[in-house]
Structures are given as structure tokens and as C-alpha cells.
């Protein structure tokens, strides 16, 4: 444990961000680097409690108390070793993970949690800066060939682990670049894409072969893969969008998030996108109050939308965590950095139809205020009626 009285002495300190009007003018990340002294103080707040619930709250099982303590002591090199033991890409999670660990932090019962996610991000940024992140070449090769299909974070981590175990790994990707939703989904202002390229360099040196623009099952058949490889991993992600089959859905101007967001990522990467979907000069409505909606919001505001409304089907959640939820993820009102940048948020709105003009372009949305019914057995929302 870092400082025994740390959690009594130090408050949680927020990450500083570039002012809204400034960050809306570009697509880069806008969180400022946290000084080492602040990070040490935050690490010192970790109580190293007997049962570290944060460790269980983290889907990766990151050994959080260990690296909090090491950061407090300034032992960054050991901290990155502990972090890499469970996480291939802390620079990704340290930027975009929703941080269920912080909800599960014991300090969060009656105080503010440790800034775990920010400490994680800074450990890895520090490590790259010092040149401590290098390829881990396997001492021997097994002679086995493995195909990994799909290069999102799951496929990348899988490919890296397999290569480090000495297998010859080929990572197949349908898109023209590696990274899955990290590359074409999550906006650059949340995670800049050179972070993926840097990891790809490391992975290439470790022996991973990247094959982009190959749609497995079409450009190369399953039989071919089975013939050429000893094992195949499928890490293809979800891909299928959730449609809203209401009257007027076919009107021009209604788009899936994943048709809109990747185009901007491509443009940011220097590609030309003919007929790019742009929110510039438009009144935008986002249906869905989650993270993808937030990303569409930040993107629309950067493109210069006149206004952005975000409609959520479910009722507005409470601002404070209901009792007895800790250490689980609480359903509370969450505001992302994109919300800070300007939005009109509305809850309990069920879209019933879209209305078009004479040219077939969407002009209005017809919705009703919804009442949320919950399943008697699970308590989960079931239907929403007027």
C-alpha cells in the first residue's frame, strides 16, 4: 500500500481538458497530461483494501492496487510490467474504457474513487516515452500457423499473444486498415489512430503478418483457411446495426452511426471520401443516448451542426448511485465530454415515424413520451408505451 493515510489526505483530482471552444476546432485528443506529482498523489489514495473490488470490476482483471502503489513510489518501469501482465494495450483502455473499476473502488462507497483509468493511461504513455515498450520476440517458434480473422482490439490482442507464444500469426481484416472499431468507429478526439499504428509496428516485429482488405469467407474461403492454417480464431465483432423499422425510415438523411462515424475517421486519416455524410449546417437528431450517440454528437459539433438533439428511449436515470448497487455498474446519468460540448438531451422519447418533404428528405420526427415497463422477474426494461 502506498501511503497509509493517502485516502484521508488527498482528494480525487480531475483530468484537465482543453476548453470546449478550442477543442471543437480540431479532431485531436484534448485531455491534458497529468503531472507526475498529481498521479503520485492519486496513486497514494489507493487503500490496497483486503479485497480489491476494482480488480474484479475490471474486465481484464488488471492488478490495479499493485500499479497504484508503484506509481506512488515512482517505480514506473515496474508499474508498466504489472499493467502489461494483464492488458496488451493499456493506451487504448486508458483512453476509452468506461472504467467499471472506478465504480467498484472501495473508496467509492463513501468518497470519490481513485483515478484508476488516468493512472493506467499515464503508466503506458510514460513507458512508451521512456522507450520501455519493445517487441517481445519469442525465444522459439512452434512451427504452427494461426489465422486471426478480425483486427479489432480482441483480434489484435489475440494475435499478439499467439505470436509471443511462438506461433506464426496472420491477422486478416476486411477493412483497409487494422483496428476494428478502434480505427473506424471511435472518433479521433477520443483516441488518436497513431496509437494503433505504433502497436502494429511492435506486433509486426513480434512476427504478426497483417492482411487488410481481405473479407474472410468471401476473398478467402473457410476451406482455404483450414488448409493453410493449423488453427483459426474468429474475432469479427458485431457489425450488424440495430435498425428502427418505423414509417419513413427510408427517407434521405437518416443514417446509421456506423455509416457516419467511419467516414470522418477516414478523412482524418487523409483519405478522400466522396459525398461524405456531414452534419455541417444541419439540425441533427441522434436516436440513442449511449456512447455511440455521444460519438455522433462530438463529431456533429466538430463538423459544425446548427443544433444537436439526443433522444433516449429510457427515462432519465438518477444522478446519484442508488444504494446497494456498489460494487456493480450503476445505471446513473452519465455525461460524456461530448455532452459538455453542446447538446439538447431528452429522455423517454419513442420515435414512431419520420416525416419527409416533397423531395423525400427527412424533415421531422414523430415521437411520443414513453412510459417504461419493467420485467417482473429481471427488473429490466421491456417495452415502452405512450
Ligand X SMILES: Cc1cc2nc3c(=O)[nH]c(=O)nc-3n(C[C@H](O)[C@H](O)[C@H](O)COP(=O)(O)OP(=O)(O)OC[C@H]3O[C@@H](n4cnc5c(N)ncnc54)[C@H](O)[C@@H]3O)c2cc1C
- Position of cell 474472410? 216
Q: Does 299 bind ligand X (CB under 6 A)?
A: no
Q: Does 152 bind ligand X (CB under 6 A)?
A: yes
Q: Applying CB under 6 A, which of residues 68, 122, 151, 170 lies at the interface with ligand X?
A: 151
Query: Which residues 42-61 are close enough to bind ligand SF4 by CB under 6 A?
Result: 58, 60
Q: Applying CB under 6 A, which of residues 135, 166, 237, 381 lies at the interface with ligand X?
A: 237
Least gap, CB of 93 to ligand SF4 (angstroms):
4
Q: Applying CB under 6 A, which of residues 70, 80, 99, 279 lies at the interface with ligand SF4?
A: 99
CB-nearer residue toward ligand X: 222 or 247:
222
Query: Which residues 103-122 are close enough to bind ligand SF4 by CB under 6 A?
Result: 116-117, 120
Q: How many residues bind ligand X (CB under 6 A)?
A: 34
Residue 108 contacts residue 99 (beta carbons within 8 Å): no
- Give the span between the Cα atoms of 59 and 50, in whole angstroms: 20
Least gap, CB of 87 to ligand SF4 (angstroms):
6
Query: Which residues 63-92 are close enough to bind ligand SF4 by CB under 6 A?
Result: 64
Least gap, CB of 107 to ligand X (angstroms):
23
- Give the span between the Cα atoms of 234 and 232, in whole angstroms: 7
Least gap, CB of 356 to ligand X (angstroms):
27
Q: Does 160 bind ligand SF4 (CB under 6 A)?
A: no
CB-nearer residue toward ligand SF4: 58 or 343:
58
CB-nearer residue toward ligand X: 35 or 290:
290
Q: Applying CB under 6 A, which of residues 101, 159, 171, 175 lies at the interface with ligand X?
A: 175
Binding site for ligand X (CB under 6 A): 96-98, 149-155, 172-175, 180-182, 185-186, 190, 215-217, 235-239, 257-258, 261, 291-292, 295
Binding site for ligand SF4 (CB under 6 A): 58, 60, 62, 64, 93, 97, 99-101, 116-117, 120
Amino acid at each position: 500500500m502506498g501511503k497509509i493515510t493517502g485516502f484521508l489526505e488527498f482528494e480525487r483530482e480531475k483530468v484537465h481538458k482543453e476548453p470546449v471552444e478550442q477543442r471543437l476546432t480540431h479532431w485531436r485528443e484534448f485531455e491534458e497530461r497529468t503531472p507526475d506529482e498529481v498521479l503520485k498523489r492519486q496513486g497514494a489514495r489507493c487503500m490496497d483494501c483486503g479485497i480489491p473490488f476494482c480488480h474484479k470490476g475490471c474486465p481484464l482483471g488488471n492488478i490495479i492496487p499493485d500499479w497504484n502503489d508503484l506509481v506512488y513510489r515512482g517505480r514506473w518501469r515496474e508499474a508498466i510490467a504489472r499493467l502489461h501482465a494483464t492488458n496488451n494495450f493499456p493506451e487504448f483502455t486508458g483512453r476509452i474504457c468506461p472504467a467499471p473499476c472506478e465504480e467498484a473502488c472501495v473508496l467509492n462507497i463513501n468518497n470519490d474513487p481513485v483515478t484508476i483509468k488516468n493512472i493506467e493511461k499515464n503508466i503506458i504513455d510514460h513507458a512508451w516515452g521512456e522507450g520501455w515498450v519493445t517487441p517481445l520476440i519469442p525465444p522459439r517458434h512452434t512451427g504452427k500457423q494461426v489465422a486471426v480473422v478480425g483486427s479489432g482490439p480482441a483480434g489484435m490482442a489475440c494475435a499478439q499473444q499467439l505470436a509471443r507464444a511462438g506461433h506464426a500469426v496472420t491477422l486478416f481484416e476486411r477493412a483497409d486498415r487494422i483496428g476494428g472499431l478502434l480505427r473506424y468507429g471511435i472518433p479521433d478526439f477520443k483516441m488518436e489512430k497513431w496509437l494503433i499504428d505504433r502497436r502494429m509496428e511492435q506486433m509486426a516485429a513480434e512476427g504478426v503478418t497483417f492482411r487488410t482488405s481481405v473479407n474472410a469467407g468471401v476473398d478467402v474461403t473457410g476451406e482455404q483457411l483450414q488448409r493453410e492454417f493449423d488453427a483459426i480464431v474468429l474475432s469479427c465483432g458485431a457489425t450488424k446495426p440495430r435498425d428502427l423499422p418505423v414509417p419513413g425510415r427510408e427517407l434521405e438523411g437518416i443514417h446509421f452511426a456506423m455509416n457516419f462515424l467511419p467516414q470522418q475517421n477516414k478523412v482524418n486519416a487523409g483519405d478522400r471520401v466522396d459525398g461524405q455524410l456531414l452534419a455541417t449546417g444541419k439540425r441533427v437528431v441522434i436516436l440513442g443516448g449511449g456512447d455511440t450517440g455521444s460519438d455522433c454528437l462530438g463529431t456533429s459539433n466538430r463538423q459544425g451542426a446548427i443544433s444537436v438533439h439526443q433522444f433516449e428511449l429510457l427515462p432519465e436515470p438518477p444522478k446519484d448511485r442508488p444504494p446497494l448497487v456498489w460494487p456493480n455498474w450503476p445505471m446513473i446519468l452519465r455525461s460524456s465530454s461530448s455532452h459538455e460540448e453542446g447538446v439538447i438531451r431528452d429522455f423517454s422519447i419513442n420515435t414512431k415515424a419520420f416525416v419527409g418533404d416533397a423531395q423525400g428528405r427527412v424533415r421531422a420526427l414523430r415521437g411520443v413520451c414513453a412510459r417504461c415497463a419493467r420485467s417482473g422477474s429481471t427488473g429490466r426494461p421491456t417495452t415502452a408505451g405512450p
